[in-house]
Amino acid sequence: MDVYSVILPPFLVAFAVTTLTTPLVIRLMRKFRILDDPTIHKHPGVIHRKPIPRGGGIPLFLGTFVAGLLFLPLNNITLSLYIASFLALAIGVIDDKLNAVAKDVSPYLRFLINILCAVIVVGSGVSVPFITNPLGGILHLDTIIFRLPGIFAFDLGSVIAIIWIIWVMNMLNWSKGVDGQMPGIVAISAIVIGLLSLRFPNVQETALIDAKLSFIIAGASIGFLLFNFYPAKIFPGYGATSIYLLLAVVSILSSAKLATAILVMGVPIVDAGFTILRRVLSGKSPFWHDNKHLHHLLLKLGFGQRQVALFYWCISAILGSISLTLQSRSKVFAIVMLIVIVGMTLSFLHFMVRHEKETT
């Protein structure tokens, strides 16, 4: 099988559609005043100084949707992905519109929509049937069944899939703090997952579909990156959760590549976990906004937006390359080491920023 014939056409179509539609969306967002205006939108994490159009989730969705229709089979899974990603886009565009007038869709309502999107996808058959036991052997999660009398039964693999999809949708939403940061992370992660899927294209048909969808996501993300890199002409907005959902799904399709996904997205994952823990320990809601993510800390220490974005891309690329060479047991060890290193780095940076503030 010619690898290039598998990945290049879907990649190029997603890239072209996103690249061509993004300027149109920018004009529409300006026309309808769906802008992220720092004088109106008083979010503590806002770092730009002039109004920038939101709604970047629209061209990202269009790129993946058009390429998906052309190159993916229409079955229960792909249909559920189209429905769930459109639902995520719709609530995101509504949130973008409300943000333009200093309002918000309730974060709790957005979270409920995240859950609904994940349930739609998992209900179509997406699951984590097994994971590799780092001590040896395979843990079959689909054999662990939970039953609710008179309602329904579900297995542990489905529960983990729902939690993972929701987690990725929210974690990556927090990783768009500087221009170009998010689409670069998504593109690199999708490429790594796609390459891993191509290792066994003749064993599972799902792996081939997974590879195509991965490169569709990468193509759309790179197409959007052309307009989102500093200085950004458009922001992803909350509608970009539609492509985060797709990335979460490709990471669990075809032999469950969760360890690889966790590793390549390790920095934003640990940052998100650290953020939730920090907010809860300080008595605040995990949904509470602040400006203490890793990218905010790096900016406070003097890094520029381009430098921060490139830092995230380089780390993701390095971790992704490493993940392609490691066996499952080694990946678990690498994940543990990553959590420790990034956690200690975050603690140190918080101390440095606090110390610098106290001495000025």
pLDDT in tens, 101-124: 767 788 889 999 999 999 999 999
Q: 70: which 2 tokens?
A: 């052309």
281 in a structural domain: no
| Separation of alpha carbons 182 and 56, rounded Å | 11
Summarize the confidence of residues 216-231 as an average pLDDT. Answer: 96
Residue 16 has a CB neighbour count (10 Å cut-off) of 16
Residue 296's pLDDT band (boundaries 50, 70, 90)? Answer: confident
Mean pLDDT of the chain: 87
More confident residue, 229 or 200: 229
54 in a structural domain: yes
Of 74, 166, 77, residue with least CA distance to 118: 166
Instruction: Say how many Å lie between the first and final Cα of the chain, rounded.
Output: 62
Q: Are 210 and 174 in contact (CB under 8 A)?
A: no
pLDDT in tens, 169-214: 999 998 888 999 999 999 999 999 998 888 764 445 667 788 899 9
More confident residue, 82 or 104: 82
26 in a structural domain: yes
13 in a structural domain: yes
55-69, 198-212, 290-304, range with the lowest pLDDT: 198-212
185 in a structural domain: yes
295 in a structural domain: no
Of 339, 172, 346, 184, residue with least CA distance to 266: 339
Q: Note the pLDDT of residue 41.
A: 62
Q: 152: which 2 tokens?
A: 């329904």
Residue 12 has a CB neighbour count (10 Å cut-off) of 15
pLDDT in tens, 19-49: 999 999 999 999 999 998 777 766 665 677 7
180-194, 285-299, 302-316, range with the lowest pLDDT: 285-299
Count of the separate structural domains present in the chain: 1
Report whether pLDDT(356) > 80: no
Helix or strand (DSSP H, E) at 246: helix 241-250
89 in a structural domain: yes
For 31, the domain range is 3-263
Nearest-5° Cα angle at 181, 175 to 182: 55
Q: Note the pLDDT of residue 254.
A: 60
257 in a structural domain: yes
Residue 281 has a CB neighbour count (10 Å cut-off) of 8
Distances (CA, A) of 30 to 23, 34, 157, 251, 320: 11, 6, 44, 35, 37
> Residue 240 gets which letter from DSSP?
G
| Separation of alpha carbons 136 and 153, rounded Å | 29
Residue 128's pLDDT band (boundaries 50, 70, 90)? Answer: confident
Q: 226: which 2 tokens?
A: 């052309």
pLDDT in tens, 322-333: 988 887 778 888
| Separation of alpha carbons 264 and 319, rounded Å | 5
